[in-house]
Amino acid sequence: MFGNLLKTSLLMAAIVALFGAIGAFVGGVNGMLLALLVGGAMNVYAYWNSDTMVLRMYNAREVDAVSAPQFYALVRELAERAALPMPRVFVIDEAQPNAFATGRDPEHAAVAATTGILQMLSARELRGVMAHELAHVAHRDILISTISATMAGAISALANVAMLFGGRDEEGRPTNAIAGLAISLLAPLAAMLIQMAISRGREFEADRGGAEISGDPQALADALEKIEAYAHGRILPAAEAHPETAQMMILNPLSGGGLGRLFSTHPPTAERTGRLRAMAMGRRFT
């Protein structure tokens, strides 16, 4: 609990510092102060509203025991096993198989799955996936991923402003254009590295926690392999438009390879499934 609170605090501080650095470039001391104020306000706004923003980005629709009885009952059963409040349940009308959890705490959590994953996975595999998402809720790290996703997008937008309008020194004179280009490239990269530092370890822990909630590590391993195989060639438009949200998904939803894979917020699927299968065989999950 304390560790996740510390991570959240450090994340917020790092994001605000990036805002300040870009503000200082654009408008000197006054620009830095204004950017720090805006960054702090956005952190507060993201804390209370980032889950709604992300669900809206993905055009997620809320379902219940009437509109999606099997899916809703599955989530309810897992939430009871994990001793968690029942989260809100959403469906995203997209072919790519994927899922995520969001919300600032277990009392205000939501889980979402694409129609692609609901149609593709067996009931047992889907149970493993949703147990993974509820493990994120139980570990109280969904706030970290949601805030980092929304704030990373804001930093990229602010960096683009710096590139387009350039910087000013204390006397209002234009600064080096090359510095503006560097800021526009390095600021989003820094935000992405912050996400990476937190996200990869979180996925391993959610795999472990999900396997414990469901009692079936093999099911989650099978689901991850199937999702990776089916996801290729199936674009998730909202993720492509908002790549900062990719780290929230159970598997990287972005279509890019090469360097993009190198900076992926998710560990290699083979490593994840290897750990899960070792866990299923009774070996220590490290």
> How confident is the prediction along the chain (286 residues), in pLDDT tens digits per residue?
555 567 666 766 776 777 777 777 766 677 677 777 776 777 677 778 878 999 999 999 999 999 999 999 999 999 999 999 999 999 999 999 999 999 988 999 999 999 999 999 999 999 999 999 999 999 887 777 666 666 666 677 667 666 665 555 555 555 555 656 666 677 667 766 766 666 667 889 899 999 999 999 999 999 999 999 988 778 999 999 988 788 889 998 987 654 445 456 688 999 999 999 999 988 554 4
Tell me how far CA of residue 211 lies from CA of 109, 118, 146, 215, in angstroms: 20, 19, 23, 5
Catalytic residue among 125, 133, 203, 228: 133
Q: How far apart are CA 105 and CA 88, in angstroms?
A: 12
Query: Does residue 240 carry a catalytic annotation?
Result: no
Q: How far apart are CA 241 and CA 161, in angstroms?
A: 18
Q: In terms of DSSP H, where are the helices of the chain?
A: 2-57, 69-81, 115-120, 123-138, 142-165, 177-214, 217-231, 237-241, 259-262, 269-280
What value, to the nearest 5°, has the Cα angle with vertex 191 and ends 190 and 196?
A: 95
Taking the model in full, what pTM does it have? 0.79
